[in-house]
Each structure stands twice: as C-alpha cells, then as structure tokens.
Amino acid sequence: MSLDLVKKLVILAKSNIMQSNNIDALEAIRIKFLGKKGYLNQHIKNINDTPSDIKPKLGAAINQAKKDIYTLFIEQKNILQSKNIKNTLITDTLDVTLPGRLSDIGTHHPITSTIKRMKIFFNTLGFSIIHSPEIEDDYFNFDSLNISKYHPSRDEHDTFWFDEKRLLRTHTSGVQIRAMTNKTPPIRIISFGRVYRKDYDQNHTPMFHQMEGLMVDSHVNFSYLKKILYDFLYNFFEKDIILRFRPSYFPFTEPSAEIDVMKQETGNWLELLGCGMVHPKILHHVDIDTKKFSGFAFGIGIERLTMLQYNIDDIRVFFKNDLQFLDQFKQYKDI
Ligand code: PHE
C-alpha cells in the first residue's frame, strides 16, 4: 500500500459517490470503501508490511482519506434526500374532492351510562356526590359499621386483604361514616365506585360497582326511604316492574330491608339493593344527636340494574372489552 494508492482510492470513491443516483447505491459505495471489510480498512490491516519510515505518514493519509470520503458521502446523501422529497412533492397528488373517511365513534360503557342516569336522578333530589377510597382500612369497611372482628358477616364479604388492616373495600358503605364524620346534618350524599369480593361466576365478578346513598335529617323515616327507592327504580326501568320490599339484616342499619325485582320471564325474584335506617349506635359514634336526627342508607348494585335493563344474563360480559357486545349500546341514546 502506498500513498499513491490512497490518493487513487479517494479519487475513485469520489467519482463513484458523485455518480450514484439513489440512496441505496450510495450506501453500497460507503460500505465498499469505508465498511469494516472495505478497501481502506483492509489496507490499514496491511500497514505493518510498510517500511517504518513511511508508516506514520501512510496511517495519517488513510485516516484523512476516510474522513474525506465520509464527508463526500454525507454531502451526496443530503443532495439525494432533498431530491427525493422534491420528487414526491411533484408526483404525489392530493384529491381534495374525495369524500372524507368517517371515524368510528364509540359510546359509553353501559355501566357508565347507568351511573350517569343514577346521578341525574339523585342530584335532582338534592343528593351530592362524594368520593371514597377503594383501598380502605378495616375501620371504615367493618368496625365503624358495627361489623366487629369476629362478627359472622365479615366472613360473607370474601375480602381481599393487603395486610392485617388494609383491604380492597367490599362495599361502599364506609362512605357513610366518612360523610357523617366530615359533615353535619342535614346530609344528602351519594357515592359511586368499585368494590371487590373474591367471587367469580355468571352473577359475580371480583370487582363490581355500587352506589351508596345516605340521608340524615330531622324528618327522615323508613317510609320515606322506601318511597325514594321505589321512585328511583320505576323511573330507571321506564317500564312496569314488580318490586318487593322485604325485611333483611345489615349490622349498620336497623330496621334493614332489601328490594327485589321480579324477572318477568321466570317469575323469580332478583335482589337489587340493600337499605335501612342508620343504626343509632352508628349515629352516636359519629356524634349525631339521635333525638334530633335520623338517617337512612342504601347500597345499589350497578351491574344488577344494568343487566336487568338490557336483559343481560352474564355479568362477566361487562369486563371482557368485547367490541361486539359494547357496540350494541350505540343504539341507545346517550344522556
Ligand atoms: N353495603 C351493603 C352491601 O354491600 C348494602 C347496604 C348499604 C345495606 C347501605 C344497607 C345500607 O350488601
């Protein structure tokens, strides 16, 4: 390898580069001259055979040649790229008269629509919305609601525990305690949210939604509770339904009741919600004067309502993200 050869290689590379008229060809030239196995690197490998007096000069010349060729390569690449852009601008045409493409507009999830409708009903009656955490401690989820550590109803809740104290709330009723601790009567609140229980079948998913309602005032009684809930259900289903108000038990309400709806096809009763008068023990605990005030509370399963409204017989479809299922709700007017 001689200095002369290096010069010749530079000239050859230059003319190759100048003649290349597309980016792929240019890249092939770069590899031919500058690549790992390219001419110049091959020559560097042989430099040891060169007499030692010209070795440094030759090394420097090869490095300089690499730099020069690389500069030429970049320059030519820029030229070719801008040529490409110009060409596309000339050849690509845009037909502004073509009809636009309609994008597919989605719709609210049926659970979201149910929540919206419930909000409208209860907001109209003066209930305001409050939020409560999904990760609760055993105080708000159980103890404060009169469900002590060894109370049998704790077992019915099939709780997801994080540790000794913290859990995923099994119902929204903890919000009653938060509301009564933070506010003074009159109180009218509702709260929506996810609740969690270890359960999975056609009628249960480990996560589902509840709405909690609470009213504390000086004139609140059991028949008022029944009236509000019946009004809500008749209004919600917008059709004739048969309801049943049946005594029940919850540790935090006394008396307690549940409302069932009759399934028209089978005549079977289906439980919709739990409710009752807030237990005096709980009112005392949050410093509400039971001589002046009383309260009622209710908890409604949101999936249940939605399943009944649309005749859905498997709760699991709500959470499968199956577009075929979800697309059906486009036909219902959104509110
Ligand atoms: N928290 C109860 C449940 O999940 C429902 C309920 C709420 C009952 C409020 C009474 C009052 O089953």
Chain position carrying tokens 């056609």: 202
pLDDT, tens digit (0-9, with 9 covering 90-100), for 267-320: 889 899 999 999 999 999 999 999 999 999 999 999 999 999 998 989 999 999
Residue 334 above 70 pLDDT?
Answer: no
Instruction: Find out whether the beta carbon of 294 lies less than 6 Å from any atom of ligand 1.
Output: no
CATH of domain 110-331: 3.30.930.10
Ligand 1 atom 10, closest CA: 275
Q: What is the pLDDT of residue 58?
A: 85
Ligand 1 atom 4, closest CA: 171
Q: What is the pLDDT of residue 171?
A: 95
Span 15-44, mean pLDDT?
89
pLDDT, tens digit (0-9, with 9 covering 90-100), for 91-121: 888 888 988 888 878 889 999 999 999 999 9
Q: What is the pLDDT of residue 222?
A: 96
Q: Where are the beta strands (DSSP E) in the chain?
A: 128-129, 135-137, 166-168, 187-196, 207-217, 243-250, 253-262, 269-278, 294-301
Q: What is the pLDDT of residue 288?
A: 96
Burial 160-186 (b: 16+ CB within 10 A, else e): beeeeeebbbbbbbbbbbbbbeebebe
Ligand 1 atom 12, closest CA: 274
Instruction: Find out whether the beta carbon of 177 lies less than 6 Å from any atom of ligand 1.
Output: no
Domain ranges of the chain: 3-91, 110-331
For residue 275, the SS3 value is strand
Q: What is the pLDDT of residue 335?
A: 59
Q: Is the pTM of this model over 0.75?
A: no
Provide the total of helices (H) and of strands (E) in the chain, helices listed first: 12, 9
Mutate to test the pocket of ligand 1, among 157, 158, 171 (most ligand atoms within 8 A of CB): 171
Q: Of all atoms in ligand 1, which is nearest to the CA of residue 213?
A: 9
Residue 332 above 80 pLDDT?
Answer: no
Span 78-93, mean pLDDT?
90
Q: What is the DSSP string of 106-149?
A: ----HHHHHHHHHHHHHHHTTPEE----SEEEHHHHTGGGT--T
Q: What is the pLDDT of residue 154?
A: 75
Distance 249 CA to ligand 1 centre (A): 9
CA distance 93 to 307: 52
Instruction: Find out whether the beta carbon of 250 lies less than 6 Å from any atom of ligand 1.
Output: yes
pLDDT, tens digit (0-9, with 9 covering 90-100), for 35-65: 988 888 887 777 777 888 888 888 888 889 9
Closest-CA residue to 302 (of 174, 191, 197): 191
Cα 263 off chain centre by:
33
pLDDT, tens digit (0-9, with 9 covering 90-100), for 136-189: 999 999 999 999 888 876 776 689 999 989 999 999 999 999 999 999 999 999
CA distance 319 to 322: 8
Q: What is the pLDDT of residue 152?
A: 73
Distance 174 CA to ligand 1 centre (A): 10
Q: Say if residues 73 and 28 touch (Cβ distance below 8 Å).
A: no
Q: What is the pLDDT of residue 156?
A: 66
Residue 333 above 70 pLDDT?
Answer: no
Ligand 1 atom 7, closest CA: 299
Span 18-35, mean pLDDT?
91
Q: What is the pLDDT of residue 57?
A: 86
Half-sphere exposure of 310 (CA within 13 A, CB side): 23
Instruction: Find out whether the beta carbon of 141 lies less than 6 Å from any atom of ligand 1.
Output: no
pLDDT, tens digit (0-9, with 9 covering 90-100), for 246-257: 999 999 999 999
Instruction: Find out whether the beta carbon of 301 lies less than 6 Å from any atom of ligand 1.
Output: no
Close Cβ partners of 326 (under 8 Å, ≥ 6 residues apart): 106, 107, 109, 110
Span 197-210, mean pLDDT?
91
Q: What is the pLDDT of residue 1?
A: 61
Distance 106 CA to ligand 1 centre (A): 34
C-beta atoms surrounding 258 within 10 Å: 19
Span 10-38, mean pLDDT?
91
120 burial type by CB count under 10 A (0-12 exposed, 13-18 middle, 19+ buried): exposed
Q: Of all atoms in ligand 1, which is nearest to the CA of residue 173?
A: 1
Distance 148 CA to ligand 1 centre (A): 16
CA distance 244 to 230: 10
Instruction: Find out whether the beta carbon of 69 lies less than 6 Å from any atom of ligand 1.
Output: no
Instruction: Find out whether the beta carbon of 185 lies less than 6 Å from any atom of ligand 1.
Output: no
